[in-house]
Amino acid sequence: MFHSCVLKKNLLRPVCALLALLLVTGGLTGCGNSSQKQVRKTSFFLNTVITITLYGTEEETLIDRCFELCRDYEALLSRTLDGSEIYNLNSRLTDTVSDETAALIQAGLSYSRLSNGAFDITIGSCSSLWDFSAEAPVLPDKAALSEALTHVGYEKVSVNGNSVTFSDDRTLLDLGAIAKGYIADCLKEFLLENGVRSATIDLGGNILCVGEKPDGSDFKIGIQKPFDEQGTPVIAVSLSDWSVVTSGIYERYFEEDGTLYHHILDPSTGYPCDNGLLSVTILSEHSLDGDALSTACFSLGLSDGMALIDSLENIYAVFITDDYELHYSAGLKDTFSITEY
């Protein structure tokens, strides 16, 4: 697994109810001692709601600096933000990127290879034709999507140091399925470097726990029941210093002619994956792993996705199929305390 997190010093400059959350925290992550110092702030970056909670301190400026880091990473990694490094790469305005962007592209290529292309960071030519956040989403033109599909393929990208090259001039990068995990890991590293020993980082439902609760107990992270608008958890997992990331079809979707179209695209077709899964949740020590593997395993489907998870060390998964049945990877129930609702 790819665990490196590069934080450039110039990024660390001092700075004094999302319904479709993948995971439900709310009261489940609260401290048992109400008198314990804590501070929580919410903002909007990376096209999602971000909530950071620090325990044992009321130092709001640390969260403000985390939000500033989110803004800086968005300026590097966003596919749609004019002037970002990924935007400039896709526009062929440059072939040189920062250490952070190069590292994340390398990580994305690694997961693309690991999943045999079920996860593919070159899905950009197809994902750019879908707009799930539009007021009235529509299906992309069939011919345009077929043509875009010919430019998908992680083998078309190579990274040498800070240089990124494409063998196909119309191949586009989309790091949306991995960037939030990478950023969460970097925020955790920043908080640890600044003395924080207990916190939760929630990047739009990607939950990363820093240490344990101040009283020494585990955090309790709820995994949402698909399509439940109140965010009711179907299970809760007790853990410390781990990440919980879910990919689900209920995050962003629309219906047309009785068919549901969701945002998790199959790199082999350009259309949403259709394999009987509602969600895949990954438990891992690093959020980057969970972010990439939740998408990869969703694309692979229950059988192949579970086989991939069971082949990896210290990675666990919960799959929810369209009959709402829960499927646990080997060893998960032996490693964590699980509460089913």
The residue ranges of DSSP E strands in the chain, in sequence order, are: 23-24, 38-45, 48-55, 157-160, 163-166, 198-203, 206-211, 219-224, 233-239, 243-248, 253-256, 259-262, 277-284, 315-321, 326-328, 337-340
259 is in an annotated binding site: no
* The pLDDT value given to residue 23: 40
In angstroms, the CA 134 to CA 307 distance is: 36
177 is in an annotated binding site: yes
Residue with tokens 């083998």: 155
* The pLDDT value given to residue 215: 93
CB 233 within 8 A of CB 341: yes
Read off the pLDDT of residues 174-198 as tens digits, 9 standing for 90 and up.
999 999 999 999 999 999 999 999 9
Read off the pLDDT of residues 237-278 as tens digits, 9 standing for 90 and up.
999 999 999 999 998 899 998 999 999 999 999 999 999 999
Question: Measuring CA to CA, how many Å separate 255 from each of 77, 94, 259?
Answer: 29, 38, 5
DSSP states along 188-226: HHHHHHTT--EEEEEETTEEEEEE--TTSPPEEEEEEPT
Helix axes 99-114, 60-77, angle to 10 degrees: 70
DSSP states along 92-147: TS-SB--HHHHHHHHHHHHHHHHTTTSS-TTTHHHHTT--TTSSS--PPPHHHHHH
- pLDDT tens by residue, the chain, 341 residues: 654 464 333 333 222 223 333 344 444 544 444 447 899 999 999 889 999 999 999 999 999 999 999 999 999 999 999 999 999 999 999 999 999 999 999 999 999 999 999 999 999 999 999 999 888 999 999 999 999 999 999 999 999 999 999 999 999 999 999 999 999 999 999 999 999 999 999 998 899 999 999 999 999 999 999 999 888 999 999 999 999 999 999 988 999 989 999 999 999 999 999 999 999 999 999 999 999 999 999 999 999 999 999 999 999 999 999 999 999 999 999 999 999 99
Q: How many helices (H) and strands (E) does the chain have?
A: 9, 16
End-to-end CA distance of the chain: 32
Tokens of 335: 């490693």
SS3 74: helix
* The pLDDT value given to residue 2: 53
* The pLDDT value given to residue 1: 63
> Cα dihedral sign for 321, 307, 222, 192?
negative
> Which residue segments constitute the domains of the chain, with CATH numbers given?
1-341 (3.10.520.10)
Residue with tokens 């109140």: 230
Residues listed for the chain: 341
291 is in an annotated binding site: yes
* The pLDDT value given to residue 5: 60
| Among 167, 208, 158, CA closest to 187 | 208
Residue 327 burial class via C-beta count within 10 angstroms: exposed 0-12, middle 13-18, buried 19 and up: middle
Task: Give pTM, 2 decimals.
Answer: 0.90
* The pLDDT value given to residue 301: 97
* The pLDDT value given to residue 327: 98
